[in-house]
Chains A and B, each alone.
Chain A
Amino acid sequence: MSDAALPALSRRARFRAEHAGTLRGARFFVWTFSRSPSALLGLALVLAFLLLAAIGPWIVPYPEDARGAVNLGRRLLPPSAAHWFGTDEMGNDILTRVVVGTRTSFWIGLTITGLAALVGVPLGVAAGYFGGRIRTAIMRVTDVFLAVPGLVLALAIVASLGPGILHGVLALTLVWWPGYVRLIEAKALTLRGESYVEAARTMGASHGWILARHILPNCVSPIVVKASMDMGMAILAAASLGFIGLGAKSPAPEWGAMISVGRGYMPDWWWYPAAPGLFIFLTVLGFNLFGDGLRDTLDPRSNRG
């Protein structure tokens, strides 16, 4: 078939033709994903919270309440039309604070997951791909960090550094990175044994080229699945630290800190800790369902029911 016989295609059609395989894969992915109602629910929740995080501060009824306003005249009011979730001990609207707190929680979750992946993935790849002593050394260090339950280790680190969101994020990153090492190490190990990798080595490809071309791209889906589930769990862990009293300083509207203060107002003003807790639950639920759905779609062989 000569070149002249090729019909002149529009840009869009040419794009479709060139990337036909990828487009088909994407369509299949979407179709599989949407077959699971729980995954769709998860996606809906995640999108809803992302939206709140993005535009929250602009749509809330009392924006100054998230910045330390004091309105002692309307403190501890029960939920009403004016205050859907009631007011807190300084007279601030709880709905406002919880919605603005969404942004705080999301950047906390994103930072922890992002940094943990940034540190853990290269180490995991190095361990799985190079093997030998490098692998032993990396895995041993990883195992030490995994020897203590995450919350306890984070508590110890934050106790030492002092309370505050930044210290909490740092502590939780240190707790989270081993998970990525473990995950990617197993994957990289498997990939290294693949025939095309061996073939590339025999043809003289450098390690860097193999890593970039064959190993890393195939690690993307497990990372994405883990990261999406980790977002929820990281937010929960950060809120847990806040609940203990080692989280954000007043008047920052962080969910865990709000529950911690609100606890002192139970049971008479029970609505105070109920709202932030509900938001935490829904966020974590959303990310968990979404991550589950992603995993079932991207890697159906790991049949976990």
Chain B
Amino acid sequence: MLRFLARRIGYLALMLGGLVLVTFVISNVTPADPAALAAGPDATPAMVATMRQEYGLDRPLPEQFARYVGDLLQGRLGRSIQTGNAVTEDLLRYVPASLQLVLLAMGFACAVGIPLGVLSAVRRHSLFDHAVRVLAVSGVALPAFWIALLLQLVLAVWAGWLPTGGQLSIAADPPPVLTGMVLLDSLLAGQWGTAGDAAAHAVLPAFVLSLPCLASVLRVNRAEMIEVLGSDHVTAARAHGVAPRRVVGLLALKNAMLPTLAIIGLRFGWMLGSTVLVETVFDWPGLGLYAVNAAIAADFKPVMGVTLTIGLLFMLANLLVDLAYGWLDPRTRGA
């Protein structure tokens, strides 16, 4: 098990290295002049030249790359022109907000997707089953930003049932910063009112984010259930008089866990990417909104910082899924 872990971590380090190279290449093909951007609009040509030297932009590329890697290893990701803060500082502030959304979305997708998928398989070919299948297909096809806008319009603006955006009402007392995730922090600090406020604000963005994952979880569980229900040992169990619910519960769910896990790992990355869209619509102060604002302002360091962070998070998630797989299914450990 340990060897498996060690191998996986080594692989992760290699991938991270590759990603660093890719982000370096990307930030160097830009037609804009990074020194001029960093110096700001009021800069004189002399100031721009100073900037260029300061950032080492006049050195040969391999040297710049070495410098870039060195900076990264020390946790220096540059400074954002827009916020004026160090990118690392901004990232630490925004990562928990995005994580909160993604975790809530994943939780919702599993809590709803697994039972619905199982039920749909049990009642195969019924109207319920068809409805669920339609949901499964739509969930992936729906443009996240479009459904976000529509839900915001109908539920928040017209009906007024939910807030239109942000993480907290301006009137709410912010909780002490423990994890950075506002909902969790206010629960841990016992600020129930704030927690309720935070929950109300998180409902719409988390729901929209969860849709494609929900769809995938639905399909996978339904497929697994169908296969399991048709298998030999289930038929045998039925023949022996074991109650159908026990059959479903014990055998099928256990089998469905592995593929569901794989789906979640895959969708985690997709969801992290979709924060770019959902956070924009709901003005949610997370990584996605940070990256979008920076991209539009041609502020590169934050965009690269977010790319690396999301890449790292995705790789870690995949690592966790791999480990879980290895633990649950020893056959995969040899791989």
Binding site for B on A (CB under 8 A): 38, 140-141, 143-145, 147-153, 155-162, 232, 236, 239-240, 243-246, 259, 263, 266-267, 270, 273-274, 277, 280-281, 284-285, 288-289, 292, 303-305
Chain A min CB distance to B330 (Å):
23
Chain B min CB distance to A225 (Å):
15
- Sorted nearest first, the 10 A-B pairs with minimum C-beta distance are A149-B273, A144-B18, A277-B146, A159-B295, A305-B223, A151-B273, A285-B141, A284-B141, A160-B30, A148-B311
In the complex the two chains form, what is the Cα distance from A42 to B142 in whole Å?
15
In the complex the two chains form, what is the Cα distance from A263 to B300 in whole Å?
25
- Whether A147 and B304, one on each chain, are in contact in the complex, defined by CB atoms closer than 8 angstroms, is no
Tell me whether A152 and B307 are in contact in the complex, defined as CB-CB below 8 angstroms, given that A259-B145, A289-B137 are known contacts: yes
In the complex the two chains form, what is the Cα distance from A246 to B303 in whole Å?
14
How many A-B Cβ pairs are below 8 Å?
A: 154
Chain A min CB distance to B315 (Å):
6
Residues 273-301 of B, flagged 1 when their CB comes within 8 A of A and 0 if not, give 11011001100000000011011101010
Chain A min CB distance to B147 (Å):
8
User: Nearest A residue to B294 by beta-carbon distance?
Assistant: A159
Which of A160, A245, A266, A305 contacts B300, CB < 8 Å? A160
What are the residues of chain A within 8 A of B274 when measuring CB–CB? 149, 151
What are the residues of chain A within 8 A of B15 when measuring CB–CB? 143-144, 147
- Whether A240 and B291, one on each chain, are in contact in the complex, defined by CB atoms closer than 8 angstroms, is no
What are the residues of chain A within 8 A of B23 when measuring CB–CB? 156
What are the residues of chain B within 8 A of A273 when measuring CB–CB? 146, 149
- Whether B138 and A148, one on each chain, are in contact in the complex, defined by CB atoms closer than 8 angstroms, is no
User: Nearest A residue to B318 by beta-carbon distance?
Assistant: A147
Give the size of the chain B interface in residues (CB under 8 angstroms).
60
- Whether B307 and A148, one on each chain, are in contact in the complex, defined by CB atoms closer than 8 angstroms, is yes
Q: What are 17 A-B residue pairs whose CB atoms fall within 8 Å in the complex?
A: A153-B22, A155-B276, A155-B292, A156-B23, A159-B294, A161-B30, A162-B30, A162-B32, A232-B141, A244-B295, A267-B153, A267-B158, A277-B149, A281-B146, A285-B141, A288-B140, A305-B222
What are the residues of chain B within 8 A of A147 when measuring CB–CB? 15-16, 18-19, 311, 314-315
- Whether A149 and B270, one on each chain, are in contact in the complex, defined by CB atoms closer than 8 angstroms, is yes
In the complex the two chains form, what is the Cα distance from A144 to B15 in whole Å?
5
User: Nearest A residue to B271 by beta-carbon distance?
Assistant: A149
Chain A min CB distance to B276 (Å):
6
Interface class of chain B by DSSP: helix
What are the residues of chain A within 8 A of B18 when measuring CB–CB? 140-141, 143-144, 147
Binding site for A on B (CB under 8 A): 14-16, 18-19, 21-23, 26-27, 29-32, 121, 133, 137-138, 140-146, 149-150, 152-153, 157-158, 219, 222-223, 226-227, 269-270, 272-274, 276-277, 280-281, 291-292, 294-296, 298, 300, 303-304, 306-307, 310-311, 314-315
What are the residues of chain B within 8 A of A159 when measuring CB–CB? 294-295, 298, 300, 303
- Whether A161 and B31, one on each chain, are in contact in the complex, defined by CB atoms closer than 8 angstroms, is yes
In the complex the two chains form, what is the Cα distance from A267 to B281 in whole Å?
13
In the complex the two chains form, what is the Cα distance from A143 to B14 in whole Å?
10
User: Nearest A residue to B157 by beta-carbon distance?
Assistant: A267
What are the residues of chain A within 8 A of B226 when measuring CB–CB? 305
In the complex the two chains form, what is the Cα distance from A157 to B304 in whole Å?
9
